Structure 1
Amino acid sequence: MSHAMQPSNNSPNMSDENPTPIQDDSPATASNHQISDGAGSEIDFSTINEKEVLRKMDLHLLPMLSLLYLISFLDRGNIGNAKIEGLTQDLHMSGPQYNWCLTVFFFTYCAVEVPSNLMLRKLRPSVWLPTIMVAWGIVMTLMGIVQSYHGLLVARLFLGLCEGGLFPGVTYFITMWYCRHEGQLRQALFFGSASIAGAFSGLLAFGIAKMDGVGGLAGWRWIFILEGIATVLIAVLAFFVLYDFPDTAEFLSTEERAWVVHRLKYQGSKDSGQMVAETEKFQWKHVKEAFTDWQIFVGIWMYWGIVCALYGVSLFLPTIINELGYKSSTAQLLTIPIYVTSALLTVLVAYYSDKSRIGRAPFVFLPMCAILIGYIIALAASAHGNLPGLVYAGVFIAACGIYPAFPGNITWLSNNLAGSYKRGAGMAVHLGVGHLGGAMASNFYRDSDKPKFLLGHSLEIGFVSPSRTYYSRVNSRRVTEGNEKGLSLRVLSEMGDKAPTFRYMI
């Protein structure tokens, strides 16, 4: 029996029809320990064990989310493994044609992210996420039988169309369960699966390539076929094990569900002295705000600095190592230490970011410095020539900055968007436009530049540039001014992160 449930009609978090006391126009504030259940009685939160509830949530949510993203990243990046196993030769593709196959994926991938996050709320995560996963698994399987460049190009377009909703959907989904100071560790635990996917992809490709000739098919075709079938099977499993929202979670008690919902609604204003809940009612203005908020576009520029490097590694790492003089099987295996180390650092940095009181910025800035240093080393060693070990070390260092910086950037922005629908749309805009960096990175490493790839390393360096100043200035002004206009709770709730009671996380 599926654990997924329809959102309850009397939910304090998900129902748009049943207003809760926080939407009143009165200036009353809410207690941290009690909240009305909507029927006039109070639910006491003093008996809630926070660590135990969070542990339950982690165990029931994160393993499946991590598996979904591992499969997603595996399926979008395995073309890099297939290339060095003969993909381009068998399909008679030139270097620019291969780059175009990488690029077009991001056009459709980015286009569907905002509508997908809106569909996630409408159809529920336990329905929407497995559905799109089945679709891209079928596309991935069919990629194993393409016979030409144009066939591969079309397949990659459809792969992006089907897969584009997963990553923004999962990152948004996590914000529906965890508070701002808990988010990066959970984002990192599921995103760390991308690093594991890179390691697993190299190991898997190494094994599957040995099937070359089985059934009259080349080894690279079996990479697509077998990984596509695995995707469909895991998607079917996801229909039965994914949960939807905290107010319908069977693994939590009634009191625990109410507590989780309550803390999520008030998290953005708890430091302001006046507890104001986020609005849950859908309005198109929240989507419009997501397209016009300055902080989203600052976040996108930072995100490009990370995602260009990320896809430079995930799509070209086997090729870069292969061109250093290692044979294809060795190149596949040499990707594994990079990805495993990156995964461990991703979780470690996220843990200290959530626990630290110095804000999110240092935990994004320092990894981005590692990206910069790594690519400078790779560029200098490539330009010198005959230093394959140093090039490998540079890419290794860069990867160790890329993967921790990625969830840090996403979490920082999600922490500073208030209102569930604005957050969902804003994160989708951030990730959608941000993933165009993947389209750019798809063309950084050209066949004409090998084996040194000086242009690719140079372009990666050019995108590293973070900032944090504005948040501090706005918070200081809001502390000084307070709610001097005497705005009601209803108005403050509608204002979201623009309310004087909301504090940005720095």
Structure 2
Amino acid sequence: MAEIKPDNTPSVRSMPSDPEKDVNLTTVDRDEYIDPKIEKSLVRKFDLLILPMCALVYYSHTLDRANLGNAKTMGIETSLHMVGNQYSLVLILFYIPYGLCNIPAALLAKRFNPARVIPIMMGCWGSLSMITAATTNFGGLVALRILIGVVEASFMPCVYLYYSLFYKRKELALRSAAWGFTGFIAGATSGLISWDVSQWHRSLSGWQYLFLIEGGMTVGLAIIIFFVLPRDTNSRLFTPEERRVAQIRLLRESEEEGAGEISWDVAFQVFRNWQVWAFSAMAFLCGVGVASASNFLPTMVKRIAQSTPQGNLYTVGPNLVAAFVQIVSSWISDRYQQRALVGFCTLLVSMIGFILLATLDLVHHTHVGYFLTYLITFGTYMPELLMPIWMTSNLTRASARAVALGIFIGGQNIGGILSSAVFREQYAPVYAPALITVAICQGLLLVGLLVMRQFYVYQNKKLARGELAPPKGMENNPDFRYAF
């Protein structure tokens, strides 16, 4: 049904246009009528300008996350004279700064604009990845992975904050899945590159070429993204009418803060918000599975494959299937606004996959084992995508979102420490204790998703009955409801 403009309601179409002047937020009224054609054009521009660039960022981020797992199957441990559980120690030491630097990274992005911070950090981790090819011992690899953990900690909070500058909360899942989809493509790409370079017989080892190629790709993409990514909706890429519509859209969902400003009172209040800590605990549980699938999928597949090149090639299929599942599931989540239930259903499939992979005898049933790797990637990553969108949708200030994202993503990344600690060499080749640990964490996460969903359903019922006041910043929006 077409939207009907009420009489005497201010309209975006009635505003004078001055292409040399930015939108003045003091004159924007959240109740102004929005021309659907202008809004549709605006969102289309967002999708064409922002989604491809953010997808490329995630592509490079996933390349770096996947290459160490593939390098393990290509002999990096032998080349660097690593023994025992030193590979797991490298992962643990990576996840410590990766989990602790999220809040500073989020505040840095809030202060200096995510569109500037993202490509700079991206260029840093790409350069460090290239330098990894020159390392000759365990200590050098540890030092480089710690530095990579510091700069990569900026990725998730920066991208989610950047999205919040443009999209409404009900539009976020599918848009986030766009770069998540590219991440799975990156995982598949890394498998293909690893398969190719592992068969080279040149002056360097295959894993060294892997780091040089993928790190170089990241640096090149960072340069492009720095100049292409729009800073905000005041960009000259948008018409004056589109800029105004963009501000009205977001004003209806959050309390505006000045660009580059941080409200410290609001930021510190987040630490007293139990819902944020609950999401952070669920992020930790989610992170155990995400890190396990990311870092050890090549190892699990190698158990089934006949050779290292074949094992790397076999990682392509599970990643491609996971990409398709993520796009479809995200569309369903946006269409029906069901973050928790979509995450629950997809994660349940992956939990079953981890349990079966740990308990079945796959020595004589390798095809069954390979099928189970598809189940593992099917839903492990969905809560990682949906939960931060769900959490930040229920916060109405950008400073609060920045800190909350830092806490959430920090919890998720710390989950990688547990994952790295349980995948120990003495558990090879099955890694049954590690796989059962992941399954238990995913089971607890399933319970957490349902509990938090019911909490917000109950809050919405109280809002509808007038028993609960809208959160600060939404006092003039009686239609506000919490996302679940």
Contact 1:65–1:190, Cα closer than 8 Å, also in 2 = yes
1:210-359 matches, within 5 Å, as 210-212=199-201, 214=202, 216-246=203-233, 248-267=234-253, 277-280=255-258, 282-357=262-337, 359=338
Q: Name the SS of the counterpart of 1:443 in structure 2.
A: helix
Contact 1:12–1:261, Cα closer than 8 Å, also in 2 = no
Cα deviation, residue 502, structure 1: 4.4
Give the corresponding residue for 1:418: 396
Give the corresponding residue for 1:3: none
For 1:348 and 1:252, locate their aligned partners in 2 and report how far apart those are by CA, in whole Å.
30
Is 1:478 aligned to residue 457 of structure 2?
no
For 2:151 and 2:262, locate their aligned partners in 1 and report how far apart those are by CA, in whole Å.
25
Contact 2:286–2:384, Cα closer than 8 Å, also in 1 = yes
Cα deviation, residue 100, structure 1: 0.8
Is 1:362 aligned to residue 341 of structure 2?
yes
Cα deviation, residue 184, structure 1: 0.3
Contact 2:28–2:244, Cα closer than 8 Å, also in 1 = no
For 2:468 and 2:433, locate their aligned partners in 1 and report how far apart those are by CA, in whole Å.
52
Cα deviation, residue 501, structure 1: 7.2
For 2:192 and 2:67, locate their aligned partners in 1 and report how far apart those are by CA, in whole Å.
11
Is 1:427 aligned to residue 405 of structure 2?
yes
Compared CA separation, residues 475 and 439, structure 1 to 2 (3 A)? same
Unaligned stretches of 5+ residues in structure 2: 1-19
Give the corresponding residue for 2:104: 115
Is 1:503 aligned to residue 462 of structure 2?
no
Is 1:51 aligned to residue 30 of structure 2?
no
Give the corresponding residue for 1:27: none
Give the corresponding residue for 2:14: none
Aligned length: 456
Cα deviation, residue 444, structure 1: 2.7
Q: Which amino acid is 1:178 matched to?
A: Y
For 1:11 and 1:21, locate their aligned partners in 2 and report how far apart those are by CA, in whole Å.
8
Cα deviation, residue 239, structure 1: 1.5
Deviations 1:122-178 (A, max 9, x none): 222332111111211121111101111111011100111121101221122112111
Q: Which amino acid is 1:83 matched to?
A: K
- Residue among 69, 75, 90 paired with 1:80: 69
For 2:127 and 2:276, locate their aligned partners in 1 and report how far apart those are by CA, in whole Å.
34
For 2:342 and 2:38, locate their aligned partners in 1 and report how far apart those are by CA, in whole Å.
29
For 2:325 and 2:24, locate their aligned partners in 1 and report how far apart those are by CA, in whole Å.
37
Cα deviation, residue 65, structure 1: 0.6
Q: Name the SS of the counterpart of 2:166 in structure 1.
A: coil
Cα deviation, residue 366, structure 1: 0.6
Question: What do you get for the CA RMSD once the two structures are aligned?
Answer: 2.4
1:370-449 matches, within 5 Å, as 370-382=349-361, 385-449=363-427
Cα deviation, residue 209, structure 1: 2.2
Give the corresponding residue for 1:462: 440
Q: Which 4+ residue blocks in structure 1 deviate beyond 6 angstroms?
A: none
Contact 1:198–1:336, Cα closer than 8 Å, also in 2 = yes
- Residue among 35, 60, 70 paired with 2:49: 60
Is 1:170 aligned to residue 159 of structure 2?
yes
Q: Which amino acid is 1:126 matched to?
A: A
- Residue among 76, 83, 90 paired with 1:94: 83
For 2:376 and 2:27, locate their aligned partners in 1 and report how far apart those are by CA, in whole Å.
48
- Residue among 171, 178, 192 paired with 1:189: 178
Contact 2:161–2:402, Cα closer than 8 Å, also in 1 = yes
